[in-house]
Structure 1
Amino acid sequence: MTIDEDIHLEPYDKHWADRFSNEHQTLIREIGPYTSAIEHFGSTSVPGMTAKPIIDILVGVENVLHTNEIIPKLTAMGYDDLGEAGIPGRLYLRKRGRHAYNVHIVLYRGDIWNHNIIIREYLRAHAVEAERYSEIKRRIVSQGTRTLLRYSDEKNAFVEQLLARAKVWMNGVQSE
């Protein structure tokens, strides 16, 4: 199985939060004892954003040995284990069906965890930035990009700039 897959974008759907909530309850039941936190992140977690209709779930662990318990439980739930999938320090699993989910297992409060949470909070607090990001994603797809890896590559520079702005904002918020 390859990480690359066909993608498309959809306007914000208020049901995305419900889909996360339902999957979150199942994840807590199945892997809760091995996790420090489970969060909804990515564009489906930001009201108003255009997104791939895939719920991204961040699973934070204190100890990487817990992944030995988590991975078999997730695969039993229908998730495909794709390993690090090009991002060291992250284990990536996905489930496709009536609804689509990605689980990203990372070190709780490590860089990957923190960066994703900071971006989410920044976009939730800055609707103009969320719309700007949505527009960039729509433009990438309108120019013919239809696969995950190419889509991710084409928006990477913007995401890096977004993270830099989000870090400055978060530092200002925390110093208040």
Structure 2
Amino acid sequence: MNQEVHIETYDAAWADQYAAEAMNICSALENAELLLEHIGSTAVPGLSAKPVVDMMLGVEKLCQIDEWKGQLEAIGYEEVHHPDMPERRFFRKGPRGAGTHHLHIYVYQSEAWNNQWLFREELRRSLAKRKDYERLKQTLARLYPHDRKRYTAAKAPFIQRTIKQAQRCRLP
């Protein structure tokens, strides 16, 4: 099923939506020690985005999620299996193609976790990168308005390049 790609102008309410949902998750997983981060374009002030709040949860082992699956389902999250991404577990809140929140679960401080964090921080830090990424997303949304998979795949080279540049800049 192809999903529509709709980019909206930055909305400061996205940060509030993240904070509210983070509290909801923490409340549902009350006995767990959690590290949650707001990631993706909605986490970057001034950046246009699909209006979906992306979050990442850091865990010691991905199998920990099996213990929490019922609690996440009780607050509206559905696990979506992505066998091509074994380094992550993924849950969506809301219907397919119209989800409101995405929860990406990684081993804390793993390469995948760090790359998500680096990309977000680089976009927050660099106005030029943020503008380049926004232009790319708008172009791709016009090229692939009903194909989210192609839209996402076409962003990958920019994302990987940005992460590699950020990694080089962090070296001593």
In the TM superposition, 1:13-28 aligns within 5 A as 13-28=11-26
User: Structure 2: which 5+ runs fail to align?
Assistant: none
CA distance in structure 1 between the partners assigned to 2:33 and 2:147 by the alignment:
31
CA RMSD of aligned residues (A): 1.9
> What are the residue-to-residue correspondences of 1:94-109 with 2, within 5 Å?
94-96=92-94, 100-109=100-109
- Return the alpha-carbon distance in structure 2 between the equivalents of residues 149 and 85 of structure 1: 15
* Residues 1:77 and 2:56 are matched in the alignment: no
**Structure-2 residue corresponding to 1:87:** 85
Unaligned runs of 5+ in 1: none
Contact 2:26 2:34 in 1 (8 A): no
Q: Distance in 1 between matches of 2:130 and 2:146?
A: 21
Contact 1:37 1:61 in 2 (8 A): yes
Residue in 2 that maps onto 1:57: 55
Which residue in the other structure is 2:156 paired with? Answer: 156
Kept in 2, the 8 Å contact 1:60–1:106? The answer is yes
Structure 1 pair 65/144, CA: closer, same or farther in 2 (3 Å)?
Answer: closer
Name which of structure 1's ranges 162-171 and 46-55 shifts more when overlaid on structure 2: 162-171
**Aligned residue in 1 for 2:36:** 38
SS at match of 1:48: coil
Measure the CA separation in 1 of the matches of 2:72 and 2:153.
Answer: 27
> 1:73 Cα shift?
1.2
Contact 1:36 1:62 in 2 (8 A): no
The answer for the alignment partner of 1:116 in structure 2 is 116
Separation in structure 2 between the aligned mates of residue 124 and residue 146 of structure 1, nearest angstrom: 28
> How many residues end up aligned between the 2 structures?
170
Secondary structure at the aligned position of 1:34 is classed as coil
Q: Cα offset for 1:69?
A: 1.7
Match of 1:127 in 2: 127
Counting aligned pairs with the same residue, the percent is: 28
Match of 2:9 in 1: 11
Alpha-carbon contact 2:4-2:145 (below 8 Å) kept: no
SS at match of 2:91: strand
Distance in structure 2 (CA, Å) of the matches to 1:93 and 1:43: 18
